[in-house]
A and B are shown apart, each in its own frame.
Chain A
Amino acid sequence: MSQNQEIIESKLCAYIDGELDAEGRTEIEKHLDANPQHRRLLESLKATRDLIKWLPREPAPPELAETLNGQLERSVLLDFDERSLNRNIWPRFLTAAAIVLLTAGLGAAVYFTLPKGQKNATPYAMRSNESQSPMPEATVPEPAADVTKSDDTLVAAASMPKAANARVLAAKIAADKTPNPELDRLASNVSQNQAAIVAVANGVGPAQNAGPPIPSNAIVMLVHANSTELATRDVTTYLESQKIQWKNAPFSAGLDQNTTQPAGAVADLKGDSGSLRERVSNRDAGQIYSTAPTTRTAMLARSSMAVEGNSSQNSNFYVARMSRQQAIDLSNSVQQGVSQKAELKELGLATGNPEWLNRMAMPPTTAPAGIVPGASYPLLVPATGPTTRPAYGAFGGAMGFGQPTTQSGADGAAELAAMTPSADAPVDVVIVVQPDAIAASTQPSALAQTQPAATQPASTQPASTSQPSTN
Chain B
Amino acid sequence: MSSLSQAHDEADGLPVADDAPADAVPRNVRPDVALLLKAQKGDRGAYGQIILLYQDRLFNAVLRLVGDREEARELTQEAFTRGLMKLETFRGDAAPYTWLFRIAVNLAISQLRKVQRVRVFSLNRAPTRANDDQAAELMNRMAADESDSPPNRAERHERDEAVLAALGRLDAEYRAVLVMRDIEGFEYQAMADILSLPLGTLKSRLFRARLALRDELRSYLSDRK
Contact = CB atoms under 8 A, between A and B. Distances in A.
Interface of A: 1, 5-7, 9-14, 16-17, 19, 44-45, 47-49, 51-65, 67-69, 71-72, 75-76, 81-84
- A-B pairs, 3 with minimum CB distance: A60-B59, A10-B203, A13-B207
A57 B60 contact: yes
B101 interface: no
A54 B160 contact: yes
Contacts of B156: 54
Contacts of B41: 83
B47 A6 contact: no
Nearest to A53: B182
A44 B221 contact: yes
Contacts of B203: 9-11, 13-14
Given A6-B200, A10-B200, A52-B167, A71 B206 contact: no
B135 A59 contact: yes
7 contacts: A10-B199, A51-B163, A54-B156, A58-B63, A63-B73, A64-B59, A83-B42
B201 to A, nearest CB: 7
A67 B75 CA distance: 12
A51 B217 contact: yes
Interface in B36-68: 41-42, 44, 47-48, 51-52, 55-60, 63-64
B204 A65 contact: no
Interface in B191-225: 199-201, 203-204, 206-208, 210-211, 213-214, 217, 221
A52 B221 contact: no
Contacts of A52: 163, 167, 178-179, 182-183, 213
Contacts of A44: 214, 221
Contacts of A6: 200-201, 204
B139 A59 contact: yes
A72 B84 contact: yes
Contact of A61 (B47, B81, B126, B164): B126
Contact of B48 (A14, A61, A69): A69
Contacts of B51: 65, 68-69, 72
Contacts of A1: 204
A123 B190 CA distance: 79
B56 A57 contact: yes
Interface in B77-95: 77, 80-81, 84
B16 interface: no
A17 B2 contact: yes
Contacts of A82: 42
Contact of A49 (B42, B136, B182): B182
> Which of A60, A62, A84 has the most C-beta atoms of chain B within 10 angstroms of its own C-beta?
A60
A51 B42 contact: no
Given A44-B221, A51-B217, A72-B48, A60 B73 contact: yes
Contact of B159 (A10, A13, A51, A58): A51
A72 B77 contact: no
> Main SS of the interface on chain A?
helix
Interface in B101-131: 123, 125-126, 128-129
A385 B213 CA distance: 124
A116 to B, nearest CB: 57
Contacts of A81: 42
Contacts of A9: 203-204, 207-208
Contacts of A76: 44
Contacts of A53: 4, 182-183
A261 to B, nearest CB: 100
A1 B205 CA distance: 11
Contacts of A69: 48, 51
Contact of A58 (B59, B80, B201): B59
B69 to A, nearest CB: 7
A121 B143 CA distance: 92
Contacts of A62: 128-129, 132
B44 to A, nearest CB: 5
Nearest to A64: B73
A51 B155 CA distance: 12
Contact of A60 (B47, B76, B81, B123): B76
A76 B42 CA distance: 9
Contacts of B84: 71-72, 75
Contacts of B139: 57, 59
B180 to A, nearest CB: 11
Contacts of B52: 65
Contacts of A61: 59, 69, 73, 126, 128, 132
Given A58-B63, A60-B56, 13 more contacts: A6-B204, A11-B203, A13-B210, A17-B2, A49-B210, A52-B182, A53-B4, A54-B160, A56-B123, A59-B59, A64-B76, A68-B77, A76-B44
> Which of A47, A64, A82, A84 has the most C-beta atoms of chain B within 10 angstroms of its own C-beta?
A64
Nearest to A81: B42
Given A62-B132, A65-B52, A82-B42, A56 B207 contact: no
Contacts of A12: 207
B168 to A, nearest CB: 12
A323 to B, nearest CB: 76
